[in-house]
Amino acid sequence: MQLETGTTRPAACGYEFQRRHPRVLLCVPVTLRHLMAGGVRISRGISLDICEGGVGALVRGTLQVGETVSIDLPLPERTIRAVAIVRHTSKVSSGFEFVGLSAEERQQILSISGSS
């Protein structure tokens, strides 16, 4: 199921902010890899929404804001392995900002939302 979630969202502290990219609901299994003391840790989860700028997901394990991770996202054409920065995290969900997507990867994400 894919639905656009809009570009404006009320923030927890009572003000609204403008999203840079419209998000689309997308539920696919995700795998995160992040460097921890002692090696690479793998966490599994499920995506909630996606846009060309990032992805929201439910992820098992503890993440830290600012941490850099690798995310495997199985999309219709192929699985994307994207580098991302953890922008927010809570007991419920986490948000990730993509870093350095290729033009092809960005186009694949845009094709999901119908924005291409």
pTM of the model: 0.79
Task: List pLDDT tens digits, range 14-51.
Answer: 545 455 667 788 999 999 999 888 899 999 999 999 99
CATH code of 32's domain: 2.40.10.220
Please report whether residue 89 resides in a domain. Answer: yes
Work out how many domains the chain is built from and give that number: 1
Q: Does 1 fall in a domain?
A: no
pLDDT at 5: 44
Q: Which carries the bigger pLDDT value, residue 94 or residue 7?
A: 94
* Number of residues in the chain: 116
- State how far the Cα of 26 lies from the Cα of 15, in Å rounded to an integer: 26
Inside any domain, residue 3: no
Q: Which domain holds residue 102?
A: 8-113
Averaged pLDDT for residues 83-94: 94
Instruction: Give residue 22's pLDDT.
Output: 74
Alpha-carbon gap, residue 83 to 100, rounded angstroms: 7
CA distances for 3 relative to 13, 48, 51, 93, 113, angstroms:
26, 11, 11, 19, 8
pLDDT tens for each residue of 53-82? 999 999 988 899 999 999 999 988 889 999
